[in-house]
Amino acid sequence: MTTNPKSRVRHLAKSIRNDGAVSAMCFARPRAIDMKRATWTTDRKAVTCPKCAEIVKRLMAGQSAA
């Protein structure tokens, strides 16, 4: 196997299209995640992408303040 799941970045899913393509929170413009190089999760604790993790932190802060 050439794909090692542990080496792939896990983004936080932003939106899931009808065709199954998933866009990540850290993408400036919505586009499909390259599933060969990365993957996604809806579990904020499971995110491994540094940019998505930053966004999660901000989301958490906003939620606790609300």
In the three-class reduction of DSSP (H, G, I as helix; E, B as strand; rest coil), residue 7 is classed as: helix
Q: Does 22 bind Zn ion (CB under 5 A)?
A: no
- Bridge partners, residue 9, by sequence: 38
* Residue from 10, 13, 22, 24 binding Zn ion (CB under 5 A): 24
Pairing of strands 38-41, 9-16: parallel
Taking CB under 5 A as the binding criterion, the range among 13-21, 28-36, 46-54, 58-66 that sits at the site for Zn ion is 46-54
CA neighbor of 32 nearest in space, from 42, 43, 17:
17
Q: Does 49 bind Zn ion (CB under 5 A)?
A: yes
Chain residues that interact with Zn ion, rule: CB under 5 A: 11, 24, 26, 49, 51-52
